[in-house]
């Protein structure tokens, strides 16, 4: 863990669960993860076999062995809790509920989700649909105390969450605030039009997020550079400092005392040997100001 000037920044990456969820820890240890993000099932399938007691025990044993934590789970990209059609909406609620229960079994505190896509029904209708789904899930106690993290999006297509106002509206509509927080993705907010490349732009962006939502609701960051330009609304991740955002925004972020202790996860392109992850994490740690 990076500890400089009293700032503790748990850095990590999204890791593969190939071979079983417990296998992610050895991979995370290999690249030097403090924290880690995973899928809790195949992200391209609606359903999966239940986690066995053996898998759950192996997961807990590997977490204890490596000390990696927190482990954040990202939901399947098939899920759309804002879908206007009942068939997809109900299917999404069932799949999301299953993932929340899997998180609870694994002891993962957070489940990250994109706030859905309205697919032509309109932003307000989509947000209302998302809120009804979340309220139903939370009212039924699904997932115990697992917190849902609404991720900022690039706004590609009809995706919701590209404006901070969308997140604020969901907090208005969903009263279960003890189970709802946010995940800020640097690539996504930049592609959505929030310019964080300079100190002035960075401060203005987070002042706006604080005004509308509250910085205390940030429980995770996704640190990704962007292949596309400001306001492009295209979600394409790039290596840290090698995209259109550049290093300065990341230097500002990893040294921001307001975000001390919040896990910062990279989702940058990687090869089989994961050397890119090692390089990106090393660069981020090097940007933390020396005492």
User: Which sequence positions are flagged as catalytic?
Assistant: 44, 74, 77, 114, 151, 185, 188, 222, 235, 237, 267
Compute the distance between CA of residue 132 and CA of residue 96 in angstroms, rounded to an integer: 14
Task: Determine if residue 37 is left, alpha or beta; phi over 0 gives left, psi from -120 to 50 gives alpha, anything else beta.
Answer: beta
Cα–Cα distance measured from residue 229 to residue 187, given in angstroms and rounded to the nearest whole number:
10
Report the distance separating Cα 257 and Cα 143, nearest Å.
Answer: 31
d(CA 109, CA 87) in angstroms, rounded, equals 29
Pair 82, 44: CB distance under 8 Å: no
Does residue 15 have a cis bond before it (omega within 30 degrees)?
A: no
d(CA 127, CA 118): 8
Count of beta carbons in the 10 Å neighbourhood of residue 208: 14
Alpha helices, H only, the chain: 24-31, 53-66, 86-106, 123-139, 164-173, 186-191, 199-212, 247-254, 275-287
Element of type H or E holding 223: strand 218-223
Are 254 and 284 in contact, with CB atoms under 8 Å apart? yes
Distance CA(271)–CA(16), nearest Å, equals 12
HSE of 252 in the Cβ direction (CA atoms, 13 Å)? 18
């Amino acid at each position: 863990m990076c500890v400089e000037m009293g700032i503790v920044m748990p850095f990590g990456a999204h890791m593969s669960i190939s071979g079983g969820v417990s296998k992610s820890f050895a991979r995370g240890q290999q690249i030097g993860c403090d924290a880690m993000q995973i899928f809790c099932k195949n992200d391209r399938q609606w359903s999966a076999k239940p986690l066995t007691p053996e898998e759950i025990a192996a997961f807990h044993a590997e977490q204890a062995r490596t000390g990696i934590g927190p482990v954040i789970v990202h939901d399947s990209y098939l899920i759309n809790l804002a879908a206007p059609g009942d068939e997809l909406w109900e299917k999404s609620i069932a799949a999301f509920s299953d993932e929340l229960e899997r998180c609870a079994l694994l002891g993962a505190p957070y489940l990250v989700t994109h706030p859905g896509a309205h697919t032509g029904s309109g932003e307000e209708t989509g947000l209302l649909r998302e809120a009804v789904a979340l309220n139903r899930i939370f009212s039924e106690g699904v997932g115990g105390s697992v917190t849902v993290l609404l991720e900022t999006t690039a706004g590609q297509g009809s995706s919701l969450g590209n404006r901070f106002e969308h997140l604020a509206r969901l907090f208005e509509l969903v009263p279960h605030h003890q189970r709802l927080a946010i995940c800020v993705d640097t690539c996504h907010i930049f592609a959505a039009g929030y310019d964080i490349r300079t100190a002035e732009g960075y401060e203005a962006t987070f002042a706006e997020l604080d005004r509308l939502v509250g910085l205390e609701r940030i429980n995770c960051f996704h640190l990704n550079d962007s292949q596309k330009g400001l306001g492009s609304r295209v979600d394409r991740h790039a290596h840290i400092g090698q995209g259109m955002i550049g290093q300065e925004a990341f230097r500002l972020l990893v040294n921001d005392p307001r975000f001390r202790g919040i896990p910062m996860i990279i989702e940058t392109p990687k090869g089989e040997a994961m050397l890119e992850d090692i390089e990106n994490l090393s660069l981020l740690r090097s940007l933390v100001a020396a005492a």
